[in-house]
Structure 1
Amino acid sequence: MAATPQRTSGSVARDDYLEQIYHLMEQKGYARAVDISRNLGISQSSVTNMLQKLDAEGLLNYERYRGITLTEQGTEIAKAIIARHEMLTRFLRLFGIAEETIYADVEGMEHHVSRATLEAIRALTQHLETNPATLKEIVSQMSLPES
């Protein structure tokens, strides 16, 4: 029986919330449900429900009508999510893919890529960045649609 791929974190929704909260904390020192709701395009009541779940999981500190902050564990997961996002973006940029396409693709890929696949992408990205002739050869074989 094949092994199940390991992901760097849990559900897609959880990843999105933790990533949003982390970015808001970087900007303001805390997050608010209204900001998360606006940024994710989700109703405030749905955000409140998820915040309560994440609080119960020990990933954030949530007090109604106050700022939301990530716990140490929540911060570690958020940083891994962001690193995964940045790695996939960096990889796709090597090939001259349009930014809008990269954004849409990474938003889908980042939630489903296994650690093993991400590590392969990281190694390949590093190799291509340090071997421009190889990258140029690969890009020359691509037929990208006009952006």
Structure 2
Amino acid sequence: MPAFLTLVGVKQAKKGAKFVHIGPTELCKVCEFYKVCIGNLEPKRIYEIVEVRSIEHPCKIHEDGVCVVEVDYPNIQAALETKQAIAGVTITYLPIKCDFYDCPHIDICRPSGLFEGDKCIVEEVSEKIDECKAGKVLRVVTLKIAQQ
């Protein structure tokens, strides 16, 4: 998927930096740059800066202004049931259903920035999760969110 443009604070505009979009403030909603800055980002989604451009704009939220950046969805490690864990396939992501919130694998079974129904490409299949408290046969995979 090709990267897309947005604006981030000048101090945060570093290639490779990741951020979670938390949503607009009231000041954002009346800003002339709203559509390019906030309008194309999804709340609670993780983004990675892949390129920083030299264009800057003033901002009422960021003291030093904002910078134009290209962002993309980063690869996310997650757990999948073994039957879905096939490198190269596109899946519809479903988080692992489990009631064991004290499980050491909870962060990989329900990773941040990935939502039920996301179309994802399984980039890589890694180790098996040996001690699933719910008794599931799981693998650690690297997922790339396909174009939304």
Tell me the TM-score normalized by structure 2.
0.25
TM-score by length of 1: 0.26
* Structure ranking higher in helix proportion: 1
